[in-house]
Amino acid sequence: MRGRAGRIWKKYTGGSKMAAAGCAILALWIILAIAVPLFGPWSWSEQNAEIRNQTSSLAHWFGTDRFGRDLFARVWYGAGLSLFIGIVSALINGGIGVMYGAVCGYAGGKTDMLLMRAADIISSIPSMLYVILITLVMGAGAGSIILGLCVAGWISMARIVRGEIIRLKEADYACAARMEGIPPLRILVRHLLPNAAGPILVNLIFLVPQAVFTEAFLSFLGVGIAAPAASLGTIIQEARSQMILYPYQMIWPLLVLCVMILALNMIGTAVEEKTGGRRGWSE
Amino acid sequence: MTAVCREGTMRRAGEERMLRYTLKRMLIGVLSLIVLATVTFFLVRIMPGSPFQQGGVSSQVVEAVEEEYGLNEPIFTQYLNYMGGLLKGDFGISYQDPSTEVAEVIKRAWPVTASVGIAALAVSVLLGTGLGILRAVSEKRAVREIISGAGMLAAGIPTFAAAILLLLLFSVRLKWLPASGLLSPAHYILPVTALALYPAAVISRLTSNALSAEMGKAYYLFARAKGLGKWRAVFTHALKNAYLPVLNYVGPASASLLTGSFVIESIFTIPGLGREFVGSITNRDYTLILGLTVFMGAVVIAVNLATDLLCAWLSPETGRAYKKADGRQRK
Amino acid sequence: MERMSLLEVERLNVKYRTEQGVRHVLRDVSFTVEKGEIAGIVGESGSGKTTAMLAVMGLLGQDASVGCEKLALDGKRPVPGQSAAMVFQDSLSCLNPSVRIGRQIAETVKIRRKCSRSEAEQRAEELLDMVGISDPHRRMRQYPSELSGGMRQRVVIAIALACEPDLIIADEPTTALDAAVQSQILLLLKRIVKETGTSLLLVSHDLGVTAALCKTVYVLHEGTVVESGNAEEIFYAPRHGYTRALLTRAGKIHQKSAEAHGKEPVQEEERRAEGEPLVRAERITKEYGAGEGLCGLSLEIAQGETLALVGESGSGKTTFAKILSGVMEADGGALFYRGECLNRNLRKSGTGRKIQMVFQDPYSALNPCLTVGEALLEAARGPRRTETESRVEEMLEMVGMSGGDARRYPADFSGGQRQRIGIARALITEPELLICDEAAASLDAEAKEQILALLEEIKERRKISCLFISHDIGLVRRISDRVAVIYGGYVVETGRTKEICSDPWHPYTKQLLEAVLEPDPLRASKIRAVPLRESGGKDTGCPFAGRCGYALDCCRRENPETYVFGDREIACFLYSEKHSGKRADGYRMMSQI
């Protein structure tokens, strides 16, 4: 089992140090995000008027915010929520994108044209608009933000998969499969998609930081997660009003967010370089 | 002379194809815009609550106002009226402030947004391309690593985070640069830098990857073999072919820069489209939301169309033949 | 005092640093080229030929380390574009696709002569004229993709000449070209050496090409020079075992093996008696790419026979293979399989599986994500999901692989082995017709020989029909019963292989046969130029008229019909009643050329 995992690791990252470092950081972040709110001495939501706006100390490593909440606990809780939203929406978007792109690419012709134009239109509506709509209908929360991210988040994946399928379906082995009388769906699943695994994986990895990005940005504008729950974006937003007096309240969550995105980008870049899958950190 | 004539006919066939492609793409663009306006119209209409139901306004007043705005008519009639208005360039009147037309808001805010956007676009394209070329061509490992490292850092910082950090450092701590507004060229520096950082990182990476790939191709080697220096071979031969994927990114990216960044405009208090949009949403100003969305959609669609046409024009016949050659080489 | 050679390379070593460690590509390679001489380096792919040439030019990448005792061109280091120029193999990929021809030549002239732009352009036109391109003024403004392969290679040569070098290195200059165009390019190179006095270093895997031009020959094998000497010594009295093996293989490929010779192909009468042929194509048309389409191609393949489809690249061979195999749809015409119209429904009902194909490129013919066993099983099962794994092993053993190979991935095998697996994949569905599309073309001589032997054995044992597509008439002569010669998308001549090869009737067939270069300096050096004019892409008239030395007036006006003489069919006006006169019943048609 270990040998197989090792082989896959080698195949998709080329054993690069960058990927290993990225994974290590990410693992650390996940552990902290789970352990700190669970086992830490401070609650992420409990307000304490006596310790408002404290700077970093031994008791409160990241200090406290204006309601006297421990920032260390709060930041890691927020990081966990951001990462959760990022990973879940990346998986959903990845799934939709792969299916949509595969259908477009394999069908070709008019079907392809119509479906891709529809995708174009969806992607040209500002994401804020439907996130707000969804939060209005469903109420603010992680669920509606994930739904909001999934309205248009799959389009980049669909475009890439479509391109790959169009390229691969002309390959000789795909022609051979058609000559063998293998039905289209099976050709797609067994012969074409596995060969597009590299670009799909690269894009899937990059979907996570993109979703974290967008979530943070929406929360920052105040249309994301509702209080008292907090993602990194909302914590940064909360600190904004006192930015000049207490910059550390903003800098800590920013730092945690940037390192998280950096780690994800490192893994993605390593896989991209190894598999030759295109499209790095672009929209 | 006859040679010129014969060539003329050949070119004409290409031009005709190009024209047909252009027309087709424009038609699709217009259709997309209509669909976009329709979808947004109904999306906005299903938003719960009327904009006038805030505070202790009596229901009679609300009805009166709704009648004034034509909100009591069947939704389909409202839709037709709105679309008819759009055709004449009439985006309707703001719900919040009946004295201003949506078109006026756009007219006021867009030039501000566009000026910041164009500056950011120019900075990111120049910086990104330059660093990308340097990374692909440089023989020094250190140079290559530094550029890729910096690129990865720049791509890891969300735009709003970059904006806040820049603001804290340069205008709060060091007090070198102004923090808000757009009064002088100095005011542009921070927002433009914050906006340009991420696209510059992406462009440098795309440029360097595409250029490295081109430099591995036979025609680059051949150009070197016929006596062209490294830089000259890159600039006269490889760059032109490498730039297509970059353009494909720059197009959509410039569209988003031109329609304004909500965050940057709100952090640096720039009176642009993005800020109007955020404001319109918090105020539930339906006509303004709708008008701004349609306008931004039009800009996005127009810029994407221009990119596609530019790409097609840059690779007239060669694009196709080139892909074929590439495929053959892959063996 | 001994005269100094123009190019002297002594003990050239090249190592590549890779992730797996250091790879020694060239070991102590030494060679010299005299002034005004054509020297040749022969070696199979992977022998390090191209690396050696790039090392001489100083153009190897950063991960290569070059060491040598002496590398001097006229006493100095070779300067690319000044004292040395290079002609590459694939003219399409070595010309920049997005820059006009004229600029690509003129910029070279400008660097070399440091002259103004208009002077450079004038010189570029002269150069185009010199390499035999008509209407150079118009060509200057075209993009590489608008020219034919032969013309592009001429442009590449023109660029090399623009450098006014002392030495031109030509790396496989004709490999991507067809036989007829190949001889023109070789003659051009010969003429240039004579007229300009430059030296030429010709690198090739093709012994025939080397024999046709070179005075001195170096044989390169796995990074070392195993034998060198003048052409006669190398070709008539090779001393090293490797050279001898190369020569025997080159000779053998072009001869039908003895036992196959003794056996007569399926008799014409027999074939007719059986009634319907296995496959009948009627007037198939297809618009596809630039000149790769089909215009009214008709042919028949009988049960159990091997029909060879011969023609140059771009003549529509592969297009026909794709249509026959069902990968592509024809625009017009009809295909019949055992008398039934071969449409989508018939293919779906299982007849599609009766036609299988062996592809040209063994690297793209196998799905890299499936093990060999999985791929074969997938093929054996097809739409049903019942087949067991027993036949996979049987099939692999039949093509000379072991049953254990089933668990490995295609990436673990060499090109020749992959081609065997590709054949096994095609045969496991038990086809009645096997299409081999240039199945051996991309392999080196040894693997090619083995694949041919395997195909012969399969033909013998399984009695399946075979459509063997090739541009190499030598291979065709060995493997096929009948030949159909295709030009410009339709069949110009069909007949028994032996008759066509010994007595070609159609002028194009004759050209094809004459252009074959044998590894024999005396015979190969007598290559003749084939008249070549631009066929202006007219819709009417014989497509070959532009290149035909026998073209009549009517050839340019109307399309010839197909005339049948026994088992020979030919589409040429020379054989029409109008031109060869009224014939009596007992008249026997003879070759008119």
Which residues of chain C neighbour A171 with C-beta distances below 8 Å?
364
> Which of C33, C18, C30 minimizes the C-alpha distance to C67?
C30
**Average pLDDT, integer, range A185-201:** 89
As a whole number, the mean pLDDT across chain A is 82
> Which of C504, A150, C507, A126 minimizes the C-alpha distance to B297?
A126
Q: Looking at the DSSP assignment, which residues form a beta bridge with residue C434?
A: C356, C466
Q: Does residue B2 belong to any structural domain of this protein?
A: no
- Confidence label for B7 from pLDDT (cuts 50, 70 and 90): very low
> Which of C225, C224, C168, C209 minimizes the C-alpha distance to C53?
C168
Structurally, chain B folds into a number of domains equal to: 1
What is the ipTM for the molecules in this complex? 0.78
User: Helix count (H) and strand count (E) of chain A?
Assistant: 12, 0
Tell me if domain C5-253 and domain C258-503 are identical in fold: yes
* DSSP element (H, E) containing C161: helix C149-162
Task: Look up the domain containing B168 and give its range.
Answer: 102-330
Tell which of B28, B33, B157, B169 to mutate to test the A interface (max A CBs under 10 Å).
B157
Backbone angles phi, psi at A271, to 5 degrees: -65, -40
Residue type, C410: P
Which residues of chain A neighbour B264 with C-beta distances below 8 Å?
none
pLDDT digits (tens, 9 = 90+) for A209-264: 888 888 887 887 777 777 677 888 888 888 877 777 787 888 888 888 889 988 98
Four-way CATH pick for C258-503: 3.90.170.10, 3.90.1640.30, 3.40.50.300, 3.40.50.880? 3.40.50.300
Nearest-neighbour CA in chain B from A133: distance (Å): 6
Q: What percent of chain C has pLDDT over 70?
A: 90
**Rounded to the nearest 10 degrees, how much is the dihedral formed by the CA atoms of A216, A219, A223, A224?**
80
Q: Tokens 């405009």 sit at which residue?
A: B265
Which residues of chain A neighbour C383 with C-beta distances below 8 Å?
181-183
Residue type, C271: R
- Confidence label for C483 from pLDDT (cuts 50, 70 and 90): very high
Residue type, A249: Q
C367 vs A178, A191, A197: nearest CB: A191
What lies within 8 Å, CB to CB, of B40 at 6+ separation is A125, A129, B289, B290, B293, B294, B297
Q: Which of residues 433-472 of C touch A (CB under 8 A)?
A: none
Topology (CATH) of C5-253: Rossmann fold (3.40.50)
pLDDT digits (tens, 9 = 90+) for B164-214: 888 888 888 788 888 777 778 888 888 999 999 989 998 998 898 888 888
pLDDT digits (tens, 9 = 90+) for A103-116: 999 988 889 888 98
Q: Which of residues 57-86 of B touch A (CB under 8 A)?
A: none
B212 in reach of chain A (CB within 8 A): no
Nearest-neighbour CA in chain A from C359: distance (Å): 7
> Which of C457, C453, C423 minimizes the C-alpha distance to C437?
C423
Beta-carbon separation of C326 and A178 below 8 A? yes
What lies within 8 Å, CB to CB, of A59 at 6+ separation is none
C236 in reach of chain B (CB within 8 A): no
Q: Does residue B16 belong to any structural domain of this protein?
A: no
Q: Is the pLDDT of residue A1 over 50?
A: no
Backbone angles phi, psi at B271, to 5 degrees: -75, 70
A219 in reach of chain B (CB within 8 A): no
User: What is the SS3 assignment for C44?
Assistant: coil
Beta-carbon separation of A258 and B156 below 8 A? yes
> Which of B38, B52, B259, B284 minimizes the C-alpha distance to A132?
B284
Q: Is the pLDDT of residue C534 over 60?
A: no
Nearest-neighbour CA in chain A from C352: distance (Å): 6
C366 vs A173, A180, A182: nearest CB: A173
Half-sphere exposure of A149 (CA within 13 A, CB side): 32
What integer pLDDT is reported at residue B99 of this predicted model?
Answer: 76
Please give the residue of chain A at the shortest CA–CA distance from C385: A182
Please return the burial class of A29, using the count of CB atoms within 10 Å of its CB with bins 0-12, 13-18 and 19+. Answer: buried
Residue C213 CA, distance from chain mean position: 19
> Which of C544, C521, C575, C29 minimizes the C-alpha distance to C234?
C521
Angle B245-B247-B249 from CA coordinates, rounded to 5°: 75
CB B159 within 8 A of CB B264: yes
Residue type, C376: L
Tell which of C344, C345, C369 to mutate to test the A interface (max A CBs under 10 Å).
C369
List the end-to-end C-alpha distance of chain C, in Å, as a whole number: 56
B318 vs C145, C163, C363: nearest CB: C145
Half-sphere exposure of C315 (CA within 13 A, CB side): 22
Q: Tokens 């890779």 sit at which residue?
A: C18
pLDDT digits (tens, 9 = 90+) for C56-67: 888 887 778 888
Domain regions of chain C by residue span: 5-253, 258-503
Beta-carbon separation of A172 and C379 below 8 A? no
What integer pLDDT is reported at residue C584 of this predicted model?
Answer: 60
Q: Is the dihedral of CA B213, B217, B219, B220 positive or negative?
A: positive
Beta-carbon separation of C97 and B241 below 8 A? yes
Q: Does residue B242 belong to any structural domain of this protein?
A: yes
Q: Which residue has the higher pLDDT, A52 or C34?
A: C34
A128 vs B161, B281, B300: nearest CB: B281
Q: Which residue has the higher pLDDT, B301 or A54?
A: B301
- Confidence label for A143 from pLDDT (cuts 50, 70 and 90): confident
Tell which of A25, A114, A125, A231 to mutate to test the B interface (max B CBs under 10 Å).
A125
Q: Which of residues 131-150 of B touch C (CB under 8 A)?
A: 139
User: What is the SS3 assignment for C229?
Assistant: strand
Which residues of chain A neighbour C325 with C-beta distances below 8 Å?
175, 179
* DSSP element (H, E) containing B84: helix B75-87
Nearest-neighbour CA in chain A from B305: distance (Å): 12
C538 in reach of chain B (CB within 8 A): no
CA distance to A206, A260, A271, C276, per residue, from A264 (Å): 7, 6, 11, 65
What integer pLDDT is reported at residue C254 of this predicted model?
Answer: 54
Half-sphere exposure of B41 (CA within 13 A, CB side): 21
Burial pattern C274-310, b for ≥16 Cβ within 10 A else e, equals eeebbbbbeebbbebeeebbbbbbbbbbbbbbbbbbb
Which residues of chain B neighbour C159 with C-beta distances below 8 Å?
222, 226
How far apart CA C75 and CA C472 sit, in angstroms, is 42
Beta-carbon separation of C326 and A179 below 8 A? yes
C289 in reach of chain A (CB within 8 A): no
**Average pLDDT, integer, range B284-303:** 84
Which residues of chain B neighbour A221 with C-beta distances below 8 Å?
262-263, 266, 278
Beta-carbon contacts below 8 Å between A and C: 64
Sequence length of chain C is: 593
How far apart CA C32 and CA B284 sit, in angstroms, is 84
CATH code (residue B277):
1.10.3720.10
Please give the residue of chain B at the shortest CA–CA distance from C62: B139
pLDDT digits (tens, 9 = 90+) for C227-239: 999 888 888 888 8
Beta strands C355-358; C433-437: pairing state: parallel
CB C183 within 8 A of CB C161: no
pLDDT digits (tens, 9 = 90+) for C275-323: 678 888 888 888 765 556 788 888 889 888 899 998 877 778 888 988 8
Nearest-neighbour CA in chain C from B17: distance (Å): 16
User: What is the SS3 assignment for C566?
Assistant: coil
pLDDT digits (tens, 9 = 90+) for B101-146: 888 888 888 888 889 999 999 999 999 999 999 998 888 888 888 9
Beta-carbon separation of C378 and A176 below 8 A? no
Q: Does residue B148 belong to any structural domain of this protein?
A: yes
What integer pLDDT is reported at residue C1 of this predicted model?
Answer: 41
* DSSP element (H, E) containing C61: none
Half-sphere exposure of A118 (CA within 13 A, CB side): 12
> Which of B250, B241, B152 minimizes the C-alpha distance to B203?
B250
Nearest-neighbour CA in chain A from C17: distance (Å): 17
Please return the burial class of B301, using the count of CB atoms within 10 Å of its CB with bins 0-12, 13-18 and 19+. Answer: buried
C365 vs A173, A180, A195: nearest CB: A173
